[in-house]
Structures are given as C-alpha cells and as structure tokens.
Amino acid sequence: KSAIDMACWDLLGKQTGRPVCDLLGGRHGEKIELYRAISQRAADDMAQNVAGYRDEGYRKIQLKVGGNPADDIQRIRAAADVLQSGETLVADANTGWKVGDAARVVNAVGDVDVYIEQPCLSYEHCLATRQRTSLPFILDETIDSLDVLLKAHHDRAMDAINLKISKVGGLSKARLIRDVCVALQIPMTIEDSWGGDIITAAIAHLAHSTPEPMRFSSTDFNSYNTVSNATGAPQRENGCMVASEEPGLGIVPNFDALGAPLAVYDRRSR
C-alpha cells in the first residue's frame, strides 16, 4: 500500500515537472538534519561511537537500549558523559522494557539530558512510564494512525513522535499526520521502518516539506545499506541530506537490484 502510494506521488511529480516535496507542502530550509543509531553493545563502546559519528557531522544520536535495565542505565550515562553542546541523545528501547524495567531506567537517569523513546510495547505502559518521569518522551511504534496521535496528544503522552511512512499507510496519510503535528506543535522524526535509496528519497521529500521547527530529525537509510536500489537518491553530507530538486522523487529505480517483480499489472489486467 505504501509503495503504491509513493509511486503515485513520484508519477504526479514527473507529470507536473515538480519535486514531490513541493507537492507535499513546499521546501523548508536548506537541509535536513539526520540522526545516527548506535546498536546495543558495551557502554564504553557505544560512547566511543558517539565521538565517531560526531566526526561525520551527526548531532543527534539514538542509542538502542531495551535490554537489561542495569546495562541500559550504564549505556545512557556513558553516552551522555561524552555529549557536547548542541548534541541530542535519544535512548530508544524499541518496546523492549517491561513497565517495571522502564520505571527503573527512567528513575536512574532522571538527571541525564536524554529523550526516552518507546520504552514499552503497549501505549498504556508507555503512558504509565511517561507519568513517572520528567524526561522528554518520544512515541514510535504505537503511532500508527491519526486517531492514536490525537489520543496521545490529549493524554500528554509524548513530546515528539516518530512518523514512519509505511506504518501509517504511505506518503498521503503521513502528510496528513504531519500537518496535524505541525498544527499541534508536535516535533517529528520523519523516517520509515526500514529501506534503501527509494525509501530515503521519500523520507527526504516529506521531511523537506515540513517546517524546520517541527523536524526533530530524520534518517538516511541508504547509508546503512551496501546495495543501491536506485540512482539519484539523497546522500548524507556532514550529518544532513537534501531532497532532490528533480521532478517526482528524483530517482531512477535499479530494477536489476530489485529483482523480478512479483506481479505485473497493466490496463489489460483483470
């Protein structure tokens, strides 16, 4: 569903001669700030990764936590200790903590400058954790529709969200949720569940069409991959990327990399 919707926006842009970000709301700012994710490992190793990604221009770092609470507390503190002015740290549990474990972690790092992201699997357990801490909160996996977003806003369940294009059904629905977030002053990390060059291009266009104050961060998934599935996709530079100014998404799919289609439809298909 999301891929078809994305292709329709690409076709509309190419038909009208306009980049998708213009069609989604207009280009805001010169570049899109990215975050870099650090996978779970020893606390000291994760802290060293922060310095390495700083050298690549990243100013927003996402720590993957959600494991043993005692280890996660050490990971958060070690990374926070090496942060510099202007840098942002997010501890992303990816639903990995039980509510009691989440309470242990947020209480133990209450004096640290860190965002807590999606600590538990259910919305209710995330809300319970939110109510136990003054740390800023991000919801991710539970934000899968406009209804959930509005409920979370009403409950004061978060300070920012992760808006994932495919999770909400494509660019069209993501644009609607984005516009509501802008109206409600909810900052967003604009990304997707995963992807390569094509997804990164779509992310860039949605992010670049979002007012800068509402962009918490974004993701260049193609920099995590070793295989390219399109040409013309955004490439990171000093921790940032920009949406193409070419019509549509500004990319040409590499069908050799994508492989044979699962199905082909044309006007004669029934």
Q: pLDDT tens digits for 188-217?
A: 999 999 999 999 999 999 999 999 999 999
**Domain-by-domain residue ranges, the chain?**
2-258
How would you label 25-42 residue by residue, b for 16+ Cβ within 10 Å and e otherwise? beebeebbbbbbebebee
Count of CB atoms within 10 A of residue 44's CB? 13
pLDDT for position 270: 58
Segments in the chain forming alpha helices (H): 2-16, 20-24, 43-55, 69-81, 99-108, 123-130, 146-155, 165-168, 171-184, 197-208, 255-258
Which 3 state secondary structure label does DSSP give 57?
coil
Residues designated catalytic: 64, 164
pLDDT confidence of residue 269: 58
pLDDT digits (tens, 9 = 90+) for 54-85: 999 999 999 999 999 999 999 999 999 999 99
Query: Which residue in the block uniquely carries the two structure tokens 């965002």?
Result: 115
Local structure of residue 19 (DSSP, 8 states): B
2-258 adopts what CATH topology? Answer: TIM Barrel (3.20.20)
Give the whole-angstrom CA distance, residue 257 versus residue 230.
Answer: 8
Residue numbers of the chain with a pLDDT score lower than 70? 269-270
CA-wise closest residue to 8 among 202, 220, 231, 228? 202
What is the per-residue pLDDT for 33?
97
